With several copies, the nearest count.
Chain A
Amino acid sequence: MKYIDEFRDGAIAQKIAARLAAEADPARAYAFMEFCGGHTHAISRYGVTELLPPNVRMVHGPGCPVCVLPIGRIDLAIHLALERGAIVCTYGDTLRVPASPGAGGGEALSLMRAKARGGDIRMVYSAADALQAARTNPGREVVFLAIGFETTTPPTALVIRQAAAEDLKNFSVLCCHVLTPAAITHILHSPEVRDWRTVPLDGFIGPAHVSIVIGSAPYEGFARDYRKPVVIAGFEPLDVMQAVLMLVRQVNEGRAEVENEFTRAVTRQGNAAAQAVVAEVFEPRESFEWRGLGEVPNSALQIRPEFERFDAEKRFGLTYRPVPDHKQCACGEILRGVKRPTDCKLFGTVCTPESPMGSCMVSSEGACAAHYAYGRFRDIPVVAA
């Protein structure tokens, strides 16, 4: 697979690892946040941690759209399926996110469990599939539960525009699209990072596919205003390792710049066509709740009034009701980089991929799920020989 296999090459990985080992200053610790779940996943799946020097620590960020989706939004989708009789289409990752406790007679529902209780909930691979479901079920309401960062927003915008062109009467979108820069700002503003410095963050690995759409320019402010190095990197393991190396160098050299490791796909300006259709269909939301981060101003999109007949929130008169996370679930702190999965009391006991208590255990890009599925061996202590 061209442009994939080359970026997973073990021999080169050893070289970068060696370079990193050589350049990382043994006298200091490095902590970098990989913003994206895609990076988290690559690090776990390819075992990148083993190739990093012990004093380079990767902190998982909030960059998994499934993980940051608040419970109340899942509740809305379940409500549409079970009580409003709508066909709810969504991407597969969303199906297992736990909803409010109690709604399922003791155990928390999820979209998957709501499906088992008779809700017509369908997994789609493309927003276009949801539109197709609306075309083939003219007698039913079809709602697309749209989640995702800037990467995933343009396809949603396209289908809304298409639905308007076809004047589809039974299609709407429950829009949960969120914006990365706002989340990064939020983390940089968090007391742990900014004031207490309990979370030492020496830099960021910037989003790969988000940046294809929005370009690298939006990150320049972080580098400039917060003095944090940012390296935009692809989702292949060599990309991640190279980005770490570039961050180590910036730190060592006292620089704080936006660098682009992913030049083969990311430009400074991003994809103008995608930005245009997003701007046509969506507008910023004043405020949106992120799981773990709480209400974050200007951190999400909503459907413009011109397309409001396709807005499920308006069409069904939905009222968002925030729901607190499980008391012991540390997702919030984990998403902010304040805690690691093993710091959570529920990790691996009550909370497992089979019965996730929090969203970080759901998607394989979630910090808890990634550590559980790929990284647990690392929790085994070394028995001195």
Chain B
Amino acid sequence: MCLALPARVVSLAEGGMDAVVDLGGVRKSVCVALVPEARAGDYVIVHVGHAIGMIDPEEAARTLALFGELAALEAGDSVWAEPFDKLRTGSVEALPPGQPASPSTSSGRTEVMAP
């Protein structure tokens, strides 16, 4: 219900109440009355046909940088990844019933059984 998406302002209509925004190549007209500061090139956050806020590019970069610094363990360690990946590459034929196990209810990995 609170679905809202960042989209780039392509152009502002005269009067400044409406704008065309672009999201991954899709364009749509939205109301920008609630973000009077928005200019072409800015990213606004669109909700029910209205821009309700703006993206601060510097803050976005900072957050992403923060994510990047987190590296401590290697990726790909999800407990159930292995059987999935075997299936994906065709190295097992199938998983038995109830498999692959959910890590949240299991204390460790489960063996892969041929059906």
List B23-41 residues whose CB lies under 8 Å from chain A. Answer: 23-24, 31, 33-36
- Interface-centre pick from B23, B66, B104, B106 (highest chain A CB count, 10 A): B104
Q: How large is the interface on A (under 10, 10 to 19, 20 to 34, 35 or more residues)?
A: 35 or more
Question: A382 contacts which of B55, B102, B112 (Cβ < 8 Å)?
Answer: B102
Q: List chain B residues, Cβ under 8 A from A12.
A: 67-68, 70
Binary CB contact string for chain B from 60 to 95 against chain A (1 if under 8 A, 0 otherwise): 101110111011111111101000000000000000
Q: List chain B residues, Cβ under 8 A from A261.
A: 63
Q: Does A29 contact B (CB under 8 A)?
A: no
Residues A382 and B2 in contact in the complex (CB < 8 Å), given A15-B73, A154-B34: no
Residue positions of B touching A, CB distance < 8 A: 1-6, 8, 23-24, 31, 33-36, 43, 45, 47-50, 52-57, 59-60, 62-64, 66-68, 70-78, 80, 96-99, 101-106, 110-113
Q: Give Cα A36–Cα B45 distance, bound, in whole angstroms.
A: 17
When C-beta atoms are compared, the residue in chain B nearest to A66 turns out to be: B1
User: A15 to B67, Cβ gap below 8 A?
Assistant: yes
Main secondary structure, interface of B, reads: loop
Q: Give Cα A126–Cα B33 distance, bound, in whole angstroms.
A: 14
User: A19 to B72, Cβ gap below 8 A?
Assistant: yes
Which among A1-9, A112-120, A304-312, A322-330 touches the partner chain?
Answer: A1-9
User: B64 to A6, Cβ gap below 8 A?
Assistant: yes
Residues A383 and B47 in contact in the complex (CB < 8 Å), given A1-B23, A49-B104, A158-B31: no
> In whole Å, how far is A49's beta carbon from the nearest beta carbon of chain B?
6
User: A158 to B106, Cβ gap below 8 A?
Assistant: no
Question: A385 contacts which of B47, B63, B71, B113 (Cβ < 8 Å)?
Answer: B113
